[in-house]
């Protein structure tokens, strides 16, 4: 049984324009009718406009409206599933641990630490082919933003929702995030596993060494990416309109500087058999890590059903173009075909 879908279903929202066009056309015709009534009598109109067909005006508008509907369906690109195949899935499992604490709002990396990290993660997601990726966000606590998946579109959508308010409790619970990722891996499948920690490492909590040792014992490689500057940077404070009004201050009114704890992140990577990278505004550290990960042996972890879809947009495009071409050749003059309808329309005027 073949399946049907629209490749770009968002374009279907344009169909809401059709009722608006109909209302505008109706209002225009009503206004023109009123102007004609004030300008001349029915007999005078028949003399001034003997060949004008009111019915053809509606017919031409109907053709154009229907053509617009067909063109919208063309843009949405209807597709028919011609065949379904079972494809083996093979790859590695990667959990990205993303720090979303307030210190990640510092702008020593443009536009800020968190936005730069999200941009890199999104680029990585778009590069993946077969590997499963998951995201854990952490501050004072750690939460799974999305579990291991090969649905990269959904992963990118969940990533876009991440901000500094995702985890309300402040802190840098790297240890908790590592432990949560170890619990979330599918250990019954012998895939190669890796953790990528993206953080400034400041004010970290928990027993990091013990957590990293647990990861190594389970065959998980740990990479780290340091966000920020070791010399420190202030944390901007914005109002509800997105305008900066100050910097974060301590209880004594002094501007708080958030510093990259590079030594801790280097130690984590060394203990975890991974590599430490320091992020900059222009570099792409996740790309370098992905190149490292691509050297790991991909492991088969299941099969998935893939539907091969074929475009059918031309079923709507060709009729739309033919109708628009036909509309060009339809004049507003009366014809034998619409004479009786025009006479009835004139009686109503």
Helix, strand or coil, per DSSP, at residue 255: strand
Has residue 52 got a pLDDT over 70?
A: no
Taking the CB of residue 160, how many other CB atoms lie within 10 A of it?
10
pLDDT average, residue stretch 269-279: 93
pLDDT average, residue stretch 207-235: 92
Has residue 247 got a pLDDT over 50?
A: yes
pLDDT in tens, 302-340: 555 555 677 888 999 999 999 999 888 877 666 555 555
pLDDT in tens, 3-22: 778 888 889 999 999 999 99
212: left (phi over 0), alpha (psi -120 to 50) or beta: alpha
Highest mean pLDDT among 36-45, 72-81, 197-206: 72-81
All structural domains of the chain with their residue ranges: 4-77+313-348, 87-304
Give how far Cα 54 sits from Cα of 6, 22, 208, 323, Å: 38, 16, 81, 20
* 96-100, 182-186, 307-311: least confident range: 307-311
C-alpha 39 chain-centroid distance:
55
Residue with tokens 């209807």: 78
Q: What is the pLDDT of residue 332?
A: 65
pTM of the predicted model, to two decimals? Answer: 0.62
CA dihedral sign, ordered 207, 209, 211, 213 = negative
Burial of 245 (0-12, 13-18, 19+ CB in 10 A): exposed
Band of the pLDDT at 99, cuts 50, 70, 90?
Answer: very high
pLDDT average, residue stretch 268-291: 88
What's the first-to-final CA gap in the chain, in angstroms?
54
Band of the pLDDT at 349, cuts 50, 70, 90?
Answer: very low
What's the DSSP call for residue 5? Answer: E
**CATH architecture of the domain with residue range 87-304:** 3-Layer(aba) Sandwich (3.40)
Please state the length of the chain: 349
Rounded distance, CA 201 to CA 246, Å? 24
């Amino acid at each position: 049984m073949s399946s049907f879908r629209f490749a770009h279903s968002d374009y279907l929202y344009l169909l809401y324009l059709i009722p608006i066009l109909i209302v505008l056309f109706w209002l225009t015709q009503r206004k023109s009718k009123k102007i004609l009534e004030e300008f001349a009598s029915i007999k005078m109109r028949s003399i001034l406009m003997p060949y004008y067909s009111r019915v053809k005006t509606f017919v031409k508008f109907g053709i154009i409206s229907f053509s617009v509907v067909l063109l919208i369906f063309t843009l949405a690109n209807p597709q028919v599933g011609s065949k379904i195949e079972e494809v083996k899935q093979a790859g590695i499992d990667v959990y990205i641990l993303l720090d979303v604490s307030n210190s990640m709002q510092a702008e020593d990396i443009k536009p800020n630490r968190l936005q730069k990290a999200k941009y890199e993660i999104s680029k990585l997601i778009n590069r993946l082919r077969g590997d499963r990726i998951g995201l854990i966000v952490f501050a004072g606590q750690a939460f799974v933003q999305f579990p291991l998946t090969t649905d990269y579109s959904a992963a990118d959508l969940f990533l876009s929702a991440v901000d500094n308010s995702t985890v309300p409790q402040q802190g840098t619970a790297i240890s908790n995030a590592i432990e949560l990722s170890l619990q979330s891996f599918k250990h019954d499948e012998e895939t190669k596993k890796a953790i990528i920690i993206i953080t400034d490492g400041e004010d970290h909590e928990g027993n990091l060494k013990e957590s990293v040792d647990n990861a190594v014992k389970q065959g998980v490689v740990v990479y780290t990416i340091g966000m920020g500057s070791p010399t420190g940077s202030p944390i901007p404070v914005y109002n509800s309109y997105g305008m900066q009004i100050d910097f974060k201050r301590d209880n004594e009114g002094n501007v708080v500087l958030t510093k990259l704890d590079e030594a801790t992140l280097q130690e984590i990577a060394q203990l975890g058999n991974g590599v430490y990278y320091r992020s900059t505004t222009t570099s792409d550290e996740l790309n370098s890590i992905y190149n490292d990960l691509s050297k790991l042996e991909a492991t088969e972890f299941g099969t998935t059903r893939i539907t091969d879809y074929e475009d059918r947009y031309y079923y709507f495009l060709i009729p739309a173009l033919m109708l628009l071409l036909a509309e060009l050749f339809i004049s507003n003059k009366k014809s034998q075909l619409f004479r009786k309808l025009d006479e009835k329309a004139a009686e109503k005027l």
